Structure 1
């Protein structure tokens, strides 16, 4: 008993223990504190039991005494805990925490394909660094991986982004629990820029190519080509998710409210899920000439009780993989082997703006809120159109000055590059697409073209 009393006195001489009380007087926690021997700042910890607080102060007193004698350097308890966890934690464990805590920019959790892609990227990194302790991942180790062989440009670029972010997490306190674990991020090399997608070299489709794609597709999903090109520049999952109620024939509109998915974990049966972002949910203008084709398609579906516009041959809803397979086969017959379903989205955006649509209208039509993304990924420069525009600009400027016409040797009545209404041969044109639609509508009405 005397020994216990002596210990209590020594503890009281070093630091203090304060009881935190609730409103009813009961103790909620014991706060143990003392002054740092380095800078005099308060060092404290909270405990649920008084004995634990006393024991902690006893251990800290010994460390402070060793520091005063010059035996060893005193290190703040938080830093000690961080170092201990850094020595014990592996990259694989931290990578799993990264996946679990990763969120979109709006704070929502990843789901479906986005979550699957994140896990795939992290799995590539865990194959290399998974069993390594965080303290063993040095800039030299990262450089060895960085300059080694990789599966492809896109995979390497994404893995660099993930590795940098995971190691940055180790250098932050975003997850709490004793973080940061590292003082410096060992990933000090530049993240490679986005590789240039091969799709950037694929031009927008012409009216003839759209018509050929339409006729080469199976009857029950061919309408998706026209809806994607002329109405909403839809993603393939959005096209498969269209329902009868998404169409308002009186107002000539089509709503994009869903995308087909297999649930948050990207597993299970096909179902209607949310669109990519809140901006992707949109109301699109439905050309009046397209209304009869849509009506006839809906009226001739296999299952009239189903809400889905596009139905699978053996499933209630058309799978995006099935539609993609049909499109890849049709593009060969249509003479545009490099086109993808995404090319329909590019065609819609490019021609909409060339027909006089504003950038804001193009963004609203395809459901994207970022100007840079729309301009970089969904619009293309068409040389024939550019040549015609430059020609019209030249004629317009020369028409303001007879002297300039003489300098350029342009006849007064000349139209270099074509007038404003000229369609340059080989150039995709929205008017040509509308003529294709009218022709298809006439063939349907005459019974020469089956619809489904």
Structure 2
């Protein structure tokens, strides 16, 4: 078994002490040998001791694949080709060795499998590559909410523009023109570019469908951060509309509960939609989010949020507001429709559901929240879920949460004199 890097023979640090490369030259590639191959921080190759050209490629990332190497022609001046047979784990070493023998036999009869594969790969369309991207990467590596958005961006923006284009034909100029054509919506254009760039990165680095990534170097549009939070008057208007909607019927109860949780806790919509009763400890006044955007965290519930949750119906299933609750499922689309209805009824304009989170951040800053407590209140950073940490942080966060809850509840309750809150002053807090 021979070990080599791209340009020169190397002995990786995982070799047994004192064991030379020459002493391993007669060993064959087996499952045990492959399992022992470790990441060294640089790409290297391990060649079989009995079948010339058959080997394992270990990337700097640690991924492993079976390969076969040969010369396309006669003599030492003939170009060297490498063909990836399969990823380690997809086939056994013996199966990969049999595949390598077939390719070596083809080469002996004048074939050039690497060039033929390269030609076929370049003929694959962006639509075909996108299907592989979704199946092999998006649905296994991305969170469900982002996976859904990726598939939507592919369907609406990327495939209509490039679906029929061959993967080997798309250029940086093509990508740049396409991105520039969406300048009216810079945020959306940048998200589309990010999806295309990731897909082309996989096509280049992992699948070897093209020699480069043409989306690299395309400049993003500047994005102006939108700072919007609800004033006391707007919160009162929202509270009045919610009260009226509750009197008219219960079919929107889970939408209303979701809205109150957004306003009282600053949780993200996806966190509220995925919230289960098993995540909530009303006696402790906490929610334990195990799969939040920024990592697992504890949400300290204020008194108002606890009261609304305690009064909510538990018989609709395991979710608080999400799947199986109510006649109309709570999804991103259905909630935006509800939100538009809320805005029309309350008279509040130019507002998004995420602005509830900005409002909580602003009120928290006004109530004396520090950068540390606001970070934990909003879940901006992954927090280690240890009992000692919870005991240390939940109490001060709850104090801050109570202050926010009191202000929001006062504004949402039109009948109370305390609803006449002081207008909010701008407080720059990232949410």
TM-score tier, shorter chain, comes to: 0.5 to 0.7
- Cα distance 1:78–1:154, how it changes in 2: closer, same or farther (>3 A)? farther
* Whole-angstrom distance in 1 between the partners of 2:283 and 2:100: 75
Q: Is the 8 A contact 2:124 2:167 kept in 1?
A: yes
State the Cα distance separating 1:342 from its structure 2 match: 1.4
1:211–1:310 Cα change, 3 Å: farther
| Partner of residue 83, structure 1 | 118
How many angstroms apart in 1 are the aligned matches of 2:200 and 2:365?
A: 43
Contact 1:308 1:317 in 2 (8 A): no
CA gap of 1:81–1:436, structure 2 versus 1, over 3 A, is same
8 Å CA contact retained: 1:229, 1:345? yes
Structure 2 residue 224 is the aligned partner of structure 1 residue 196:
yes
Q: Partners in 2 of 1:170 and 1:320 — Cα distance?
A: 31
Partner SS, residue 189 of structure 2? helix
The reply to whether residue 356 of structure 1 matches residue 368 of structure 2 is yes
What do residues 204-261 of structure 1 show as CA deviations (whole Å, max 9, x unaligned)?
A: 223342232122122235454443223x21233433455555554443x131548xxx
Q: Contact (CA 8 Å) 1:161, 1:191: kept in 2 or not?
A: no
- How far apart are residue 333 of structure 1 and its match? 4.1
Partner of 2:109, secondary structure, is helix
- Contact kept in structure 1, 2:127 and 2:159, CA below 8 Å: yes
Q: Alpha-carbon deviation of 1:363?
A: 2.5
Q: Tell me if the contact between 1:150 and 1:156 (Cα under 8 Å) persists in the aligned partners.
A: yes
Q: Tell me the CA shift for residue 343 of structure 1.
A: 1.3
Q: 2:237 aligns with which of 212, 228, 251?
A: 212
1:98 matched to 2:133? The reply is yes
Out of 58, 61, 65, the position equivalent to 2:108 is 58
Q: How does 1:373-412 map to 2 (within 5 A)?
A: none
Cα deviations across residues 96-126 of structure 1 (Å, max 9, x unaligned)? Answer: 222223359xxx5335442232123223322
Cα pair 1:171 1:183 within 8 Å, conserved: yes
Give the length in aligned residue pairs: 317
User: Does 1:368 pair with 2:400?
Assistant: no
Q: 1:164-196 CA distances to partner (integer Å, 9 max, x unpaired)?
A: 333333332x13xxx2x3333334652323533
200, 209, 225: which is aligned to 1:167?
Answer: 200
Counterpart Cα distance in 2 of 1:30 and 1:84:
30
Quote how far apart the aligned CAs of 1:90 are. Answer: 2.4
Q: Is the 8 A contact 2:187 2:221 kept in 1?
A: no
The 5 Å alignment of 1:213-362 reads: 213-217=238-242, 218-219=245-246, 220=253, 221-230=255-264, 232-242=265-275, 246-251=279-284, 253-255=285-287, 257=289, 275-276=292-293, 278-279=295-296, 281-287=297-303, 291-292=306-307, 294-295=309-310, 297-298=311-312, 301=313, 309-310=320-321, 314-315=326-327, 318=330, 321-362=333-374
Where does the alignment leave 5 or more consecutive residues of structure 1 unmatched? 1-17, 64-76, 259-273, 372-427, 444-452
If the length of structure 1 is used for normalisation, what is the TM-score?
0.55
Question: In structure 1, what is the Cα distance between the partners aligned to 2:158 and 2:82?
Answer: 38
Displacement, 1:48? 2.0
Does the CA-based 8 Å contact 2:280-2:286 persist in structure 1? yes
Tell me how far apart the structure 2 counterparts of residues 90 and 236 of structure 1 sit (CA, whole Å): 36
Aligned partner (choices 157, 162, 165) of residue 129 of structure 1: 162
Per the TM alignment, residue 341 of structure 1 is displaced from its structure 2 partner at its CA by: 2.0
Structure with larger Rg? 1
**How far apart, CA to CA, are the structure 1 residues paired with 2:333 and 2:152?**
19
Q: Distance in 2 between matches of 1:146 and 1:342?
A: 26
Q: What TM-score results when the alignment is normalised by the length of structure 2?
A: 0.57
Match for residue 98 of structure 2? 48
TM-superposed CA distance for 1:360, in Å, is: 2.7
Partners in 2 of 1:276 and 1:332 — Cα distance? 30
d(CA) in 1 for partners of 2:325 and 2:100? 70
Q: Distance in 2 between matches of 1:82 and 1:50?
A: 14
2:184 corresponds to 1:156: no
| Gap change, CA 1:125 and 1:30, over 3 Å in 2 | farther
What SS does structure 1 have at the residue aligned with 2:76?
A: coil
